[in-house]
Structure 1
Amino acid sequence: MKIAVLDAQGAGLGKTIIKKIKKEIDSDIYLIALGTNPVATSNMIKAGANTGITGEKDICSFCETNNPDCIIGPIGIICSGGIKGEITSSISQAVFKLECTKYIIPMQKHGIYIPGTTKLKIKDIIDEIISSIKENIEKSPI
């Protein structure tokens, strides 16, 4: 299973997601760190990603030529100008066009309010994502 994790800035959330996946899922998982900058990519690789891709051009190219089983990231990855401007319109469009499951984590930022999510903890959201990935692994043919 190929899982892409997209994050920006210092990739704090991306690191957390990758570490949790590595700890919780013992199946054959290939993690791709998509960082908008070298620091984000490096931090996700240090957390355990198998490979890293950095910058708008390379992230967009990855999205256009690859078909990961899922992509995970904060809500800003689907918003042009998201994550303090590090998500360009090209990146957000490329992510949106991916034909895979998109696990979008509501962060209560960017002036976007998703009803029903205010009391959710990021830890619980990540646990739910990992549970869903595990279910998909169990359902997939070997």
Structure 2
Amino acid sequence: MKIAVLDAQGAGLGQTIIKKIRKEISLDVYITALGTNAIATSNMVRAGANVGISGENAICSFCMTNKIDSVIGPIGMICSGGINGEITPVIAKSIFNMDCTKYIIPLQKHGIYIPGTRNLQIKDIIEEIVLDIKSNMS
């Protein structure tokens, strides 16, 4: 199974996701870290990603040329200007157009509120994502 994890800034969320996947699924999954900057990518690779890709051009190229099973990231990954402006319109469109499952983590930032997510903690959302990935591996 091939998974991409997208994050920006210092990739705190991306690192948490990758560590949880490695703990729960281990080496049965190939993880590509998609970082909008080199620091984010480096932190995700240190967390256990197999490979890291940095920057707009590289992320968009990856999205257009690779077949993956799923991409995981905060809701900002499909919003132009998301993640404090680090998601460009081209990145958002490339992620959105990928033919895979998109696991969207509904962070309540930038005036985006998704009803029904109010009481969910990030760790519970990540746990649900990992359980779904496991069930799709069979």
User: What range is the shorter-chain TM-score in?
Assistant: over 0.9
* Correspondence for 1:51: 51
Query: 1-side partners of 2:36 and 2:26: how far apart?
Result: 28
Aligned counterparts of 1:26 and 1:20: Cα–Cα separation in 2:
9
Number of the residue aligned with 1:134: 134
Give the structure-1-normalised TM-score: 0.96
Separation in structure 2 between the aligned mates of residue 114 and residue 28 of structure 1, nearest angstrom: 32
Helix, strand or coil for the counterpart of 1:32?
strand
User: Could you report, residue by residue, the CA deviation over 1:25-82 in whole angstroms, capped at 9, with x for unpaired residues?
Assistant: 0352100000000000000000000000000000000000011100000000000000
Deviation at 1:110, TM superposition (A): 1.6
Runs of 4+ in 1 over 4 A off after TM superposition: none
Report the secondary structure of 2:102's partner residue.
strand
Match of 1:105 in 2: 105
Q: Secondary structure at the match of 1:84?
A: helix
Alpha-carbon distance in 1 for matches of 2:26, 2:134: 10
Give the letter aligned to residue 116 of structure 2.
G
Per the alignment, residue 64 of structure 2 pairs with 64
The gaps in structure 1 that reach 5 residues or longer are none
User: Secondary structure of the equivalent of 2:108?
Assistant: coil
SS at match of 2:26: coil
Residue aligned with 2:86, SS: coil
C-alpha distance in 2 between matches for 1:123 and 1:50: 22
Instruction: Give 2:123's aligned residue.
Output: 123
- Percent of residue pairs identical: 70
1:20 partner letter: K
By percentage of residues, which structure has more helix? Answer: 2
